[in-house]
Chains A and B, each alone.
Chain A
Amino acid sequence: MKPRIITRKQLSELLDRLAQEVCLYAPVRDRTGTSWAKISRADEVCLEAVNTVEPAKGFVFPRCEVLLRFDPQGNPVEPEPPPEQVVFGIRPCDARGIAFLVKFYTQEGRTDPYVKARRQKTTLIGVACSRTAPTCFCLGVGGSPQGSEGLDLLLVDLGDELLAEPVTDKGEKLVADLPAAGEKHLTAAAEQKKKVEAEISLRIDTGRLRELLPGLYESGVWQALALTCVNCGACTFLCPTCHCFDVTDETIRGRTVRCRVWDSCQFTLYSRHASGHNPRLDPASRYRNRIMDKFYYTVEQAGMVSCVGCGRCIISCPAGIDIRQTVRKVQDAK
């Protein structure tokens, strides 16, 4: 698929048109930064922040997914299928997060129909990063500020014009009528990539972690590291790849629904058995689980480290914990 060129005006027109046809979501400015919202016009979009406060994972894995509704007689009713939606302005790290979720949830023999259906109905338009925050480390975990993994279309902002690289047929369809990008556009994008990548210096040796972590299960390092952690769920809820859920039946306004809601391994209730026994009652064992899951369990299960380096867990941690420092301390542990 050929890279193409789209002007700002054409992009605005495209977004205005999409907003008329389907549900269009994009980052908009709010009190704490930028958040995802349904928009009706291109000029509502805000791409100034490096990233949104919350990740984009909710578009394929919503915070509350209604699995079943019950009619007044108590008979189950299948919920409406998800709507066609376009997500614009997604950053490469968030897109990789979605790629992970889809990979994790659509594996041979254990495919989750809800995630699969939502991804099929979703078009993801990414915008490459032209600057970084000190908490960004996508490059250190296999991503890139111009990465296209998980996307349908990637845009690289070159000033008056944007380079549009289709990744899937869905993306190709959106830009098929546009002129092909010239050599100067490709060179400008490559230069921008080099410049932004140079800003990201901190890396995590994830290969080494995969080897080290199984042997460190009983290490005292977790107790020391977990002392600072307050075991809230902020890092897990704001993580683009954290994917744990609970299923609950609730009556909302007189109607009973069965929902799947996000859960967090940092909560005590998460690991409590029906018997009352809790194998992860100790805060350190919950902290360990999060790190093991990011860099070992998911690598074993889905072949991918489930950290995309977006830095949200660093920004949101009330205790000032930096996952890069955690990894360094784990690597130094004996």
Chain B
Amino acid sequence: MDRSEKLRQRARELLEKKEVVMVIGFGPPSDSGISPVLFATTPEEAENLTASTSCAQNLANYLLKVRDRGRVAVVARGCDARSITVLLQENQLKRENLHILGIGCEGVIENGRKSTACAVCRHPNPTIYDELIGEPVPAPEPDPEILKADQEFEQLSPDERWERLSAELDRCIRCYACRQVCPNCYCPVCFVDASMPQLLGRTHNLSDNMVYHIIRALHMAGRCVECGACHRACPVGIDLMRFNRRVAKTVRERFGCDAGTDLNQAPALTGFKPDDPQEFIQ
């Protein structure tokens, strides 16, 4: 029995036995090549569940939408599980209301090639689950081209990095798809939407684009699980993962924290440890 079939079978059982009110997973891909999220509330609806490389979104995002409905089951790959962990750490979800159907991930295929986040994935398997569907998968060999480009970016001078960032963000149309698909970007009122007083200009000039992306990056520092959902959602193809990977790497190096891998370790910037590096106030 293949993974998808196993998944459908377990989803049916959970719904039949009324152990959960809903199973959240993915359906077959639409004409755009992306699988829409499937919310199965009956065993029949679970028949369309699919586990494939067209599943582009982070499903943890949807748990926030249905958290008042009762116990739900969710299909979780490495990054979905890590985001769920962050949401649990931040008291946005209740563990007892979740049944996590863990599944190893082979990455998302986008425009015929592996999504840039998946090409350097370090955690293809769920880090938290109630049951594992199928076998764990080995972590892929990281794409050397991406690693090389990351390294080159890192070695640039601050001015050059700023220039690179400006060139990318100048193209942002501020549709906020990156924010909306991110499970760990959930403030009830985003600073972008504050209007009394207004904190951010509404024209699409570089300085406002910059403020939006930098504040978002800072809010995500230590919490971003590098799933790449934001990168895939960007309609104008901004290389968001280049910057996200850089932030995540800094957090790993300085705080020894890999977001969402350990339920007992709070996100780097929400806790304090006496041995935290504090060079900025020295």
Show the binding face of A for B, using Cβ within 8 Å: 31-32, 53-54, 63-64, 134-135, 227-228, 230-234, 236-238, 246, 248, 250, 252, 259, 261, 264, 267-269, 272, 283, 311, 314-322, 325
Give the Cβ gap from A132 to chain B, nearest Cβ, in Å.
Answer: 11
7 A-B contacts (beta carbon < 8 Å):
A227-B39, A228-B36, A234-B233, A248-B203, A252-B205, A261-B203, A320-B32
Q: Is the Cβ of B237 less than 8 Å from the Cβ of A232?
A: no
Q: Is the Cβ of A269 less than 8 Å from the Cβ of B32?
A: no
Which residue in B31, B57, B203 is a CB contact (below 8 Å) of A135?
B31
Give the Cβ gap from A92 to chain B, nearest Cβ, in Å.
Answer: 20
B interface size (C-beta, 8 A): 36
A159 to B174, CA, bound (A): 40
Q: Is the Cβ of A319 less than 8 Å from the Cβ of B235?
A: no
Residue B195 lies at the interface, judged by CB distance under 8 Å to chain A? yes
Instruction: Given A234-B235, A320-B29, A322-B30, output 10 extra A-B contacts at Cβ < 8 Å.
Output: A54-B173, A64-B204, A268-B193, A317-B32, A318-B232, A318-B233, A319-B57, A320-B57, A321-B30, A325-B30
Chain B, range 1-59, C-beta contacts under 8 Å to A: 29-32, 34-37, 39, 56-57
A234 to B202, CA, bound (A): 16
Given A63-B204, A230-B181, A248-B202, A315:B175 Cβ within 8 A: no
B236 partner residues in chain A, CB cutoff 8 A: 32, 53-54
A231 to B175, CA, bound (A): 10
Residue B166 lies at the interface, judged by CB distance under 8 Å to chain A? no
Q: Is the Cβ of A230 less than 8 Å from the Cβ of B175?
A: no
Task: Give me the 6 closest cross-chain CB pairs, A-B, nearest first.
Answer: A32-B237, A318-B233, A320-B34, A320-B36, A232-B177, A232-B180
Q: Is the Cβ of A63 less than 8 Å from the Cβ of B173?
A: yes
Q: Is the Cβ of B37 less than 8 Å from the Cβ of A246?
A: no
Which residue in B36, B39, B203 is a CB contact (below 8 Å) of A252?
B203
Q: Is the Cβ of B229 less than 8 Å from the Cβ of A318?
A: yes
Show the binding face of B for A, using Cβ within 8 Å: 29-32, 34-37, 39, 56-57, 61-62, 65-66, 173-177, 179-181, 193, 195, 201-205, 229, 232-233, 235-237
Q: Is the Cβ of A230 less than 8 Å from the Cβ of B201?
A: no
Q: Is the Cβ of B235 less than 8 Å from the Cβ of A53?
A: yes
Which residue in A234, A250, A269 is a CB contact (below 8 Å) of B193?
A269
Give the Cβ gap from B68 to chain A, nearest Cβ, in Å.
Answer: 13
A267 to B193, CA, bound (A): 8
A319 to B180, CA, bound (A): 10
Q: Is the Cβ of B35 less than 8 Å from the Cβ of A320?
A: yes
Q: Which residue of B lies closest to A263 (CB)?
A: B202
Q: Is the Cβ of B30 less than 8 Å from the Cβ of A230?
A: no
A269 partner residues in chain B, CB cutoff 8 A: 193, 195
B57 partner residues in chain A, CB cutoff 8 A: 318-320
Q: Is the Cβ of A230 less than 8 Å from the Cβ of B177?
A: yes
Q: Which residue of B lies closest to A30 (CB)?
A: B237
Which residue in B39, B179, B193, B202 is a CB contact (below 8 Å) of A232?
B179
Best-surrounded residue of B37, B195, B229, B235 (most CB of chain A within 10 A): B235
Which residue in A63, A237, A272, A319 is a CB contact (below 8 Å) of B37?
A319
Give the Cβ gap from A290 to chain B, nearest Cβ, in Å.
Answer: 13
Give the Cβ gap from B100 to chain A, nearest Cβ, in Å.
Answer: 20
Given A31-B237, A269-B193, A234:B204 Cβ within 8 A: no
Best-surrounded residue of A54, A250, A325 (most CB of chain B within 10 A): A250
A63 to B173, CA, bound (A): 9
Give the Cβ gap from A120 to chain B, nearest Cβ, in Å.
Answer: 25
Q: Is the Cβ of A232 less than 8 Å from the Cβ of B204?
A: no
Give the Cβ gap from B237 to chain A, nearest Cβ, in Å.
Answer: 3
Q: Is the Cβ of B203 less than 8 Å from the Cβ of A318?
A: no
Give the Cβ gap from A3 to chain B, nearest Cβ, in Å.
Answer: 34
Q: Is the Cβ of A234 less than 8 Å from the Cβ of B30?
A: no
Q: Is the Cβ of A314 less than 8 Å from the Cβ of B195?
A: no
Which residue in B31, B37, B193 is a CB contact (below 8 Å) of A314?
B31
A223 to B201, CA, bound (A): 32
A261 to B204, CA, bound (A): 8
A320 to B52, CA, bound (A): 14
Q: Which residue of A lies closest to B193 (CB)?
A: A269
Given A135-B32, A228-B37, A233:B177 Cβ within 8 A: yes
Q: Is the Cβ of B32 less than 8 Å from the Cβ of A234?
A: no
